[in-house]
């Protein structure tokens, strides 16, 4: 249940607001529009029904308001939107706000707004706000001052007067050659703000500066757990058990960018214009492979749920799934205590919550406080078993005392169970032990004293905990990159893009805020400060990028020595069709490693990628150590895939083809055959889109599996960029007109023939 809010914006559109060009930021009206748009956009994004607004303009050519209708005297004031939830139209209106040619009384507009807000909100609980944006250049009838002040105060309305070029003490701004009217009006507004309990006069610059900060909508804190923190068997031994009623609130929660939904561009292009939804529905179908390893669709009601246990599928009765669950009771129980120094933070797994005493209970607050301070003074943490609600899975957590100047709580962090923790060993960083067990004092892996010394200086110099303020601001050195000053650029850019696209559908999406981008880069002042030191570090550290040699990590070099090698198998005959590039692939010097392993199983001798088990054939060919069969294998594999796609009856062979492609791509990337693979993929794409009927479904699978062109980022041999690879995958080729439509009979026989061939 969100608080109800009612906000009225009054914008002065009179002549001085738009005729006078200011030094910065255009006219006063431009600034006012920007300010109101920003405030409204935040409300539209939030999309709350309980947050309603209205828009009034003053100085308009027209007059449209109920007070004038009733009694007159409120000329050139127009209510453009009644009090309602703001939607896109109001934003468009503000964005294109028309200029007015009249000097009208903004105080009258304020009275009108008061009338509207009180009749809308009546005595209901609302947060009521009025924003008045004006340059104060029009005469004001100050007669009703007292009555207005009284109504503002009695209705508990917050009034914000945003003045264009008002004097600002804090910014030290004073407008030169101020008109007499404006001077008087500014004084009047300041008097008004002093008389009202919640009224403030801001300069427009200050307002816009405030509004330019990323806006985070405050979230009403809701407890994630309410219950008792216990130590001991509270049920049976209440006297010797600790029991504290607590509430737990999230302290950090992942904020996510606005969710998007799928939108059909096919509907966009289709002709009939009414009632289009543009929605995208999902349809799911299930397939199993039959004895011939072909995928066959099965109705979903013929399927059972099963869990995999090792190699075994264990079917599960859906009605009986509860048997898997552990019976638990909601609780937070202390298991034991730990020395803070003996609990490394690495076991934290998720976001962190704060444990507070039950709201309103000073008794519980006192008890919790005793525990917090006890833990703090003993430098200890508590370990707890936490069950959020009955029959939920128990979690392990650690409670950490936190005490600041005014606040205290226990932080709760979930920690790793045995299964969540993987123990791996890594070589030490501070010593190198040779094979024979000796510790080596010097080694390229170990830093020298000089390196350590300079690195220490570097760390000191790169401190950002206490950094001299950036130019222009005075005061003490302050911390840079505080968590509360680092906004999630994606979230804010998404919002910005939505607001921008809504008003300007034809423009490209805006770029991220420069300030946020700057945060992701090294501070220029640190670069300046450390230039020399870093040059010295470069000299001694001698870091070199490793240029991956062709095929260095490829299987060819490490070809499995134990694989039975084919002896003399007329491979030369096969290879003679594919002349070897000179020196491209040296044959291993020593192909007789395996003479000790003389058993040769005939089945392992493969010189062709067949269609029965192409992946296995292919792999064996790649691993062949006595002859380089990679190129041949790649070519044959490509042919096999094309064959599968071409001859697949429906989608039967698609899965197999994709499996082949995955292996093919991987091998080509490793073995410096990217060109061959990329050519193949282009052929394949041509086949998918140009054949009759097209095999677009297959290409869709290729997209789904993300089988892209091999990019230069993956292997040096490729001339394709990552972006090109991506575009190639997604792009739909133009319908080729030069393909003549084939005779349907002909196609059918072809397919049939191929199938029988297999």
Partner 1 sequence: MSSSTTMSSWSSTIDDQGDNLDTEEDFEAEENNITKGNRDAVLFVIDCSTSMMNKDENGDSAFHSAIQCASSIMMNKIISENSSDFLGVMFIGTEKTQNPLDKKHIYVLQNMDLSDIHRVMELNNIASEEFDFKQEYGITDEQYPLGDVFWVCSELFNSVTSPTVRTKRIFLITNEDNPHPTKPVLRSAAITRARDLIESKIEIDLFSIDKPDSNFNLHSFYLEILSKNDEFDDSTHINASKSFETLNSRILSKESPKRSIFSIPFHLFEGEGMTIGVKGYSLVQERKKPNYKWVHMRGETTRIAESKTKWICADTTQELLPQDIKHYVHYGGEKIVFTTEELQKIKEIGEKGITLLGFKPETSLKPHYNMEHPYFLYPDEEQYEGSRRTFAALHQKMIEMKKVAICVANFRHGVLMKFVALKAEPEVLDDEGQQIHPPGFYMFTLPFADDLRPLPPHSTITPAPEIMIDFTKPIIEKLQIKGGYNPIKFPNPTLARFYDVLIDLALDQDIKEEIQDETLPKYGLIEKRVGEFVKIFNVEANEQASNLYTNLPSSPPRQSTTSRSRGVKSQVDISTLHSDNKLNKATVAQLKEFLSGVGIKPASKKDDLIQQANTYFASK
* Strand partners of residue 383: 336, 398
Q: Does the N-terminal peptide bond of residue 693 adopt cis geometry, omega within 30 degrees of 0?
A: yes
- Name the phi and psi angles at 315, rounded to 5: -70, 145
Q: Of the ranges 26-34, 68-76, 325-333, 627-635, which one interacts with partner 1 (CB under 8 A)?
A: 325-333
CA 285 to each of CA 92, 374, 627, 664, 710: distance values in angstroms, whole numbers, following the listed order: 44, 59, 45, 28, 31
Binding range to partner 1, per CB under 8 A, among 12-20, 145-153, 396-404, 738-746:
396-404
Sequence-separated (6 or more) residues with CB below 8 Å from residue 427:
none
Quick check: 54 and 9 in contact, CB under 8 A? yes
User: N- to C-terminal Cα distance for the chain?
Assistant: 67
Beta carbon nearer to partner 1, 269 or 568: 269
- In the list 77, 159, 409, 688, the residue contacting partner 1 (rule: CB under 8 A) is 409
Q: What is the C-alpha to C-alpha distance for residues 453 and 541, in angstroms, rounded to an integer?
A: 12
447 lies in the binding site for partner 1 (CB under 8 A): yes
Q: Which of 73, 82, 146, 456 binds partner 1 (CB under 8 A)?
A: 456
Q: Which is nearer to partner 1, 64 or 501 (CB)?
A: 501
Query: Of 155, 121, 152, which Cα lies nearest the Cα of 3?
Result: 121
CB 687 → partner 1: shortest distance, Å? 16
Residue with tokens 């999406």: 509
- Asked if 311 touches partner 1 (CB under 8 A), the answer is yes
Query: Which residue of 177, 283, 598, 602 would you call a contact of partner 1, by CB under 8 A?
Result: 283
Q: Which 556-595 residues touch partner 1, going by CB under 8 A? A: 558-563, 593
Strands 331-339 and 380-387 come out as antiparallel
Other Cβ atoms less than 10 A from the Cβ of 171: the count is 11
Per-residue binding letters, 39-68, with partner 1 (x by CB under 8 A):
-----xx-x---------------------
Q: Is the four-CA dihedral 451, 456, 457, 463 of positive or negative sign?
A: positive
Q: Which residues contact 375 (CB under 8 A, 6 or more apart)?
A: 337, 381, 382, 399, 400, 401, 410
Quick one: tokens of 223? 């407890």
For residue 535, give the 3-state DSSP assignment: helix
* Residue 367 makes contact with partner 1 by CB under 8 A: yes
Beta bridge partners of 5: 51, 127
Select the residue interacting with partner 1 from 438, 507, 596, 598 (CB under 8 A): 596
Binding-site member from 260, 438, 577, 598 for partner 1 (CB under 8 A): 260
Dist CA 758 CA 754 (whole Å): 7
Least Å distance between CB 718 and partner 1? 17
Q: Binding to partner 1 (CB under 8 A): which residues in 103-142?
A: none
Task: Select the residue interacting with partner 1 from 141, 154, 313, 746 (CB under 8 A).
Answer: 313
Task: Tell me: does residue 520 bind partner 1 (CB under 8 A).
Answer: yes
Told to check if 366 binds partner 1 by CB under 8 A, we report yes
Among 433, 592, 739, 742, binds partner 1 (CB under 8 A): 433
- Locus of tokens 């082949």: 660
Phi, psi of 385 (to 5 degrees): -105, 125
Q: Which span sits near partner 1 by CB under 8 A: 2-10, 187-195, 327-335, 674-682? A: 327-335
Which member of 123, 177, 304, 576 binds partner 1 (CB under 8 A)?
304
Q: How far is the CB of 375 from partner 1 (least distance, A)?
A: 6
DSSP H/E element including 581:
none
Which one-letter DSSP state was computed for residue 94? H
Q: What is the total count of residues that contact partner 1 (CB under 8 A)? A: 241
Please report whether residue 445 would count as binding partner 1 according to CB under 8 A. yes
State the nearest-atom distance from the C-beta of 71 to partner 1, in Å.
Answer: 35
In the complex, least distance from residue 104 CB atom to partner 1, rounded to whole angstroms: 29
The smaller minimum CB distance to partner 1, of residues 58 and 90, is found at 90
Nearer Cβ to partner 1 (127/369): 369
Among 2, 597, 748, 752, interactor with partner 1 by CB under 8 A: 597
Nearer to partner 1, 183 or 233 (CB): 233
> Binding to partner 1 by residue 77, rule CB under 8 A?
no
Segment 457-516, which members bind partner 1 (CB under 8 A)? 459-460, 462-465, 467, 474-476, 479-481, 483-491, 493-494, 497-499, 501-502, 509, 512
Q: Which residues contact 91 (CB under 8 A, 6 or more apart)?
A: 37, 40, 41, 44, 499, 502, 503
Looking from the CA of 12 toward its CB, the CA atoms found within 13 Å total 29
Q: Which residues between 164 and 183 bind partner 1 (CB under 8 A)?
A: 170
Q: Is 295 in the site for partner 1 (CB under 8 A)?
A: yes
Largest CA distance in the chain: 112
- Does 285 sit near partner 1 (CB under 8 A)? yes
Answer for which of 143, 377, 581, 745 binds partner 1 (CB under 8 A) is: 377
CB 19 → partner 1: shortest distance, Å? 31
Between 177 and 434, CB nearer to partner 1: 434
How far apart are the C-alpha atoms of 609 and 619, rounded to whole Å?
A: 9
Q: Which residues inside 686-705 make contact with partner 1, applying CB under 8 A?
A: 696, 700, 703-704
408 contacts 372 by C-beta, under 8 angstroms: yes
Q: Which residues contact 209 (CB under 8 A, 6 or more apart)?
A: none
């Amino acid at each position: 249940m969100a608080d109800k809010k009612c906000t009225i914006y009054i914008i002065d559109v009179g002549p001085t607001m738009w005729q006078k060009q200011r030094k910065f930021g255009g006219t006063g009206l431009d600034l006012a529009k920007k300010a109101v748009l920003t405030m409204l956009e935040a409300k539209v994004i939030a999309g709350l029904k309980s947050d309603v607004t209205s828009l009034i303009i003053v100085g308009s050519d027209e007059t449209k308001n109920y007070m004038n209708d009733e009694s007159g005297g409120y000329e050139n004031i127009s209510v453009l939107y009644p009090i309602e939830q703001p939607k896109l139209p109001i934003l468009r209106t503000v964005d294109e706000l028309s200029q007015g040619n009249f000097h009208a009384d903004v105080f009258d507009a304020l009275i009108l707004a008061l009338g509207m807000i009180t009749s809308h909100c009546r005595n209901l609980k609302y947060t009521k706000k009025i924003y008045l944006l004006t340059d104060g250049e029009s005469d004001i009838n100050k007669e009703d001052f007292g009555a207005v002040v009284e109504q503002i105060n009695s209705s508990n309305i917050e009034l914000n007067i945003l003045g264009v070029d008002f004097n600002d003490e804090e910014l030290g701004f004073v407008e030169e050659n101020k008109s007499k009217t404006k001077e008087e009006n500014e004084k009047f507004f300041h008097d008004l703000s002093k008389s009202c309990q919640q009224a403030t006069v801001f300069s427009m610059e200050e307002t816009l500066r405030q509004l330019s900060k990323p806006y985070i909508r405050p979230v009403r804190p809701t407890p994630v757990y309410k219950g008792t923190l216990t130590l001991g068997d509270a049920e049976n031994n209440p006297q010797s058990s600790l029991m504290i009623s607590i509430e737990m609130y999230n302290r950090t929660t992942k904020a996510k960018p606005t969710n998007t939904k799928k939108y059909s561009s096919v509907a966009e292009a289709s002709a009939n214009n009414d009632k289009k939804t543009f929605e995208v529905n999902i349809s799911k179908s299930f397939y199993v492979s039959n004895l011939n390893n072909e995928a066959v669709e099965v109705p979903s009601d013929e399927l059972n749920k099963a869990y995999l246990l090792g190699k075994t599928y264990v079917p599960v009765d859906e009605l009986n799934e509860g048997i898997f669950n552990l019976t638990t009771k909601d609780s937070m129980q202390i298991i034991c205590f730990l020395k803070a120094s003996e609990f490394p933070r690495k076991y934290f797994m998720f976001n962190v919550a704060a444990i507070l005493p039950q709201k309103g209970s000073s008794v519980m607050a006192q008890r919790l406080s005793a525990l917090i301070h006890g833990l703090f003074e003993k430098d200890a943490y508590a370990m707890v078993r936490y069950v959020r609600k009955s029959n939920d899975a128990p979690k392990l957590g650690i409670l950490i005392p936190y005490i600041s100047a005014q606040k205290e709580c226990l932080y709760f962090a979930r920690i790793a169970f045995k299964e969540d923790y993987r123990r791996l060993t890594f070589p030490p960083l501070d010593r190198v032990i040779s094979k024979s067990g000796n510790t080596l004092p010097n080694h390229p892996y170990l830093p020298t004293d000089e390196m350590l010394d300079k690195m220490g200086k570097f760390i000191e110099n790169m401190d950002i905990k206490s950094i001299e303020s950036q130019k222009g601001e005075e005061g003490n050195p302050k911390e840079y990159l505080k968590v509360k000053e680092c906004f999630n650029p994606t979230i804010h850019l998404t919002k910005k893009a939505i607001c921008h696209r809504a008003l300007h559908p034809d423009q490209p999406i805006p770029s991220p805020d420069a300030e946020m981008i700057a945060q992701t880069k090294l501070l220029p002042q640190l670069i300046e400060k450390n230039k020399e030191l870093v040059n010295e570090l470069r000299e001694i550290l001698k870091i070199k990028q490793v240029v991956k040699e062709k095929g260095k990590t490829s299987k060819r070099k490490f070809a499995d020595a134990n694989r039975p090698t084919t002896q003399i198998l007329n491979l030369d005959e096969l290879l003679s069709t594919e002349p070897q590039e000179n020196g491209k692939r040296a044959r291993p010097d020593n192909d007789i490693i395996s003479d000790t392993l003389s058993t040769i199983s005939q089945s392992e001798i493969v010189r062709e990628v067949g269609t029965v088990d192409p992946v296995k054939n292919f792999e064996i060919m790649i691993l062949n150590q006595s002859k380089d069969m990679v190129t041949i294998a790649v070519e044959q594999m490509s042919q096999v895939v094309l064959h599968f796609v071409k001859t697949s009856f429906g989608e039967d062979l698609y899965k197999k083809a994709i499996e082949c492609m995955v292996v093919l791509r991987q091998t080509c990337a490793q073995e410096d055959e990217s060109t061959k693979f990329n050519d193949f993929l282009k052929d394949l794409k041509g086949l998918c889109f140009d054949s009759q009927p097209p095999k677009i479904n297959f290409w869709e699978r290729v997209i789904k599996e993300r089988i892209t062109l091999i990019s230069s980022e993956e292997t040096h041999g490729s001339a394709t960029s990552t972006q090109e690879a991506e575009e190639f995958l997604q792009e739909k080729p133009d319908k080729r007109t030069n393909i003549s439509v084939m005779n349907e009979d002909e196609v059918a026989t072809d397919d049939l023939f191929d199938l029988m061939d297999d």
